[in-house]
């Protein structure tokens, strides 16, 4: 066999005895660390976040190199599925003002909330609908509701829960699109004492943070499952938001801390 391959016997045995170089050992160790971070993130983190975690742990590496290693290992972050629009536009008048004006970085928690509705497809129950409320300071989901219909009452229960969990003496701004849920009398009643802000007509970028979160939960988690029914969907949403996103998932906006950690840090610094 060695003769057919054009190799000498002594050269072959030298190869067997050769120890891996320092560079080869480092590459192996880094790839092992990348895989561990990737698996700990439920296969969600891509090269930017993995590189940040490695650097913070004392391993100097560029985002580009992490990307190269991930391609060699055959792993990648979850990809985005096409978006389906669910908003029923109801008010295109000039009466609804965009007071937020894309200022997505308020100075403290409980200053600005944003909310929106998205769909989740199930095999047996058809579409179910997820309404989330996000605190823009930390990107934390402070309340969410999953409903079988787009009926206004159940959807807006998320606002009731958010206000009970986060009472405030100061007026809180709440930003939404112009859908019928957010221009009806019940919404005005539930948000009495709050500052209402609305996206410009047909401009989803005005509510980009909550839109991005809804894309994220689908890409990183829901798209992996053949969701059977409402109960299955509810369990998956709870696992992602309550067990992973709020307490553990690092966010670039939060200095690569989780939303919960970012709020804890604010409380500590504000009391010092």
Rounded Cα gap, residues 57 and 60, in angstroms: 9
Model pLDDT for residues 202-220, shown as the tens digit of each residue:
888 999 999 999 999 999 9
Model pLDDT for residues 137-164, shown as the tens digit of each residue:
999 999 999 999 988 999 999 999 999 9
112-271 classified as CATH 3.30.420.10: yes
Question: What does pTM read for this prediction?
Answer: 0.73
Locate the domains of the chain by residue range.
Answer: 2-73, 112-271
pLDDT at res. 204: 85
**For all residues of the chain together, what is the average pLDDT?**
87
Kindly give the parts of the chain with pLDDT less than 50. Answer: 82-85, 87-88, 90-92
pLDDT at res. 22: 74
Share of the chain above pLDDT 90, in %: 62
């Amino acid at each position: 066999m060695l003769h057919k391959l054009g190799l000498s016997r002594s050269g072959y045995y030298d190869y067997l005895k050769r120890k891996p170089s320092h560079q080869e050992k480092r590459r192996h160790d880094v790839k092992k660390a990348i895989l561990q971070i990737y698996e700990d993130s439920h296969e969600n983190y891509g090269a930017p976040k993995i590189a940040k975690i490695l650097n913070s742990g004392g391993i100097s590496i560029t985002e580009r190199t992490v990307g190269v290693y991930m391609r060699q290992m055959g792993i990648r972050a979850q990809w985005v599925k096409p978006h389906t629009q669910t908003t029923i536009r109801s008010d295109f008048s000039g009466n609804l003002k965009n007071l937020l004006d894309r200022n997505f970085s308020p100075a403290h928690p409980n200053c600005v909330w944003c909310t929106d509705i998205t769909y989740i497809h199930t095999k047996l129950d058809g579409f179910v609908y997820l309404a989330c409320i996000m605190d823009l300071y930390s990107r934390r989901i402070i309340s969410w509701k999953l409903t079988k219909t787009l009926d206004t009452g159940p959807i807006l229960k998320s606002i009731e829960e958010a206000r009970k969990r986060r009472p405030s003496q100061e007026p809180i701004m709440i930003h939404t699109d112009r859908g019928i849920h957010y221009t009806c009398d019940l919404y005005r009643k539930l948000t009495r004492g709050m500052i209402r802000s609305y996206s410009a007509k047909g401009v989803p970028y005005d509510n980009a943070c909550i839109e991005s979160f809804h894309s994220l939960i689908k890409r990183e988690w829901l798209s992996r499952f053949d969701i059977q029914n409402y109960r299955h969907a509810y369990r998956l949403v709870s696992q992602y938001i309550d067990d992973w996103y709020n307490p553990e998932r690092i966010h670039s906006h939060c200095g690569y801390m989780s939303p919960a950690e970012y709020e804890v840090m604010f409380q500590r610094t504000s009391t010092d």
